[in-house]
């Protein structure tokens, strides 16, 4: 009878841990600043949640993996957005790109060579 009560209590505890996982995961994703999370921070968060009994070890590992995956994705998306915005601002400011400058430098070299040729002929 005591073993049965203990098994039921353990099952309820495990069920609560599993039910809490989606909520904890969402809160962690929102609250940590997902693009800036390091693996150490993610592991520390998971370790704290495991200690509190909010997650089991497997859920903790899953949380760390998911946080790192989302962190990398968010970082790439952020970089893409920033690069696009910088390009738009440069175009609006009429600033020449490296490629455009290189084309102009090549044209100047050709013109200088042509002038040199013409000067030598005289």
Encode pLDDT of 53-97 as tens digits: 888 999 989 989 998 888 888 878 878 888 888 878 877 888 888
CA within 13 Å, CB half, 39: 3
* Domain enclosing residue 110, as ranges: 2-121
Q: Report the domain count for the chain.
A: 1
Say what the pTM is: 0.47
Query: Which DSSP string corresponds to 43-83?
Result: HHHHHHHHHHTSS-HHHHHHHHHHHHHHHHHHHHHHHHHHH
pLDDT in tens, 4-59: 444 434 444 444 444 555 656 666 666 556 666 788 888 898 999 889 888 899 99
- The radius of gyration of the chain's CA atoms, rounded to the nearest angstrom, is 30
């Amino acid at each position: 009878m005591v073993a049965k009560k203990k098994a039921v209590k353990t099952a309820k505890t495990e069920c609560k841990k599993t039910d809490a996982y989606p909520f904890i995961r969402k809160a962690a994703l929102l609250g940590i600043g997902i693009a800036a999370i390091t693996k150490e921070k993610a592991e520390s968060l998971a370790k704290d949640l495991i200690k509190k009994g909010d997650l089991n070890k497997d859920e903790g590992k899953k949380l760390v993996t998911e946080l790192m995956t989302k962190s990398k994705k968010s970082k790439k998306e952020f970089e893409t957005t920033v690069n696009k915005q910088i390009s738009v601002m440069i175009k609006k400011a009429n600033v020449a790109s490296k490629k455009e400058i290189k084309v102009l430098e090549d044209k100047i070299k050709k013109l200088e060579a042509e002038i040199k040729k013409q000067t030598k002929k005289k």
